A = this chain, B = another copy of it.
Amino acid sequence: MSSNDTATETTTAKLLEAPSVQELVRQIRAQDSYGVYKNWSDDLVLKPFIIDRRERRKISVEGEVNPATINRIELFYRAIASRIEQETGPVVQVVIELNHEGFGWALVFCGRLLLVVRSLRDAHRFGFDSLEKLAIEAEKLTQAGIELAKRYPEVYRL
């Protein structure tokens, strides 16, 4: 094994440790009623979330969004909602609205406060360039949500 391979493995291991990534893995495994993922590494479980630019462009944006893709979008935002819950207390809701063209909204909220507001487009192609991009995005959204909840506790608990 080259030193380069070892470096990559260390980075991957570190990214997988991010609390929001761990929560996403937990959410995915929770849906695995038949134990298919039982012996899979976290890395492998997250594989469908990683689609590089070239692969993404090959996915057609015609027709309905694939139910498996919608499920992944829900899992991603559900993981962020759970992380915010864990840090702040009250139950956090997730609403994903997608129209037939793959446009819509991802909303994470509690009380009257919106913690995450994302407009979605080309949802057919939902995915991240790399595990690093996924981890950065998930941590960023989680931290921003927690900060908002702390800044506006009254609206959060309304």
A residues adjacent to B (C-beta < 8 A):
93, 95-97, 104-105, 107, 109, 111-115, 117, 148, 152, 155
| CB nearest to A112 among chain B residues | B114
The listed residue (B97, B104, B105, B112) touching A113 by CB distance below 8 A is B112
What number of copies of this chain does the assembly contain?
2
| CB nearest to A105 among chain B residues | B95
A124 to chain B, nearest CB (A): 18
CA A106 to CA B85, docked complex, whole Å: 22
CA A111 to CA B155, docked complex, whole Å: 13
| CB nearest to A111 among chain B residues | B114
CA A143 to CA B155, docked complex, whole Å: 17
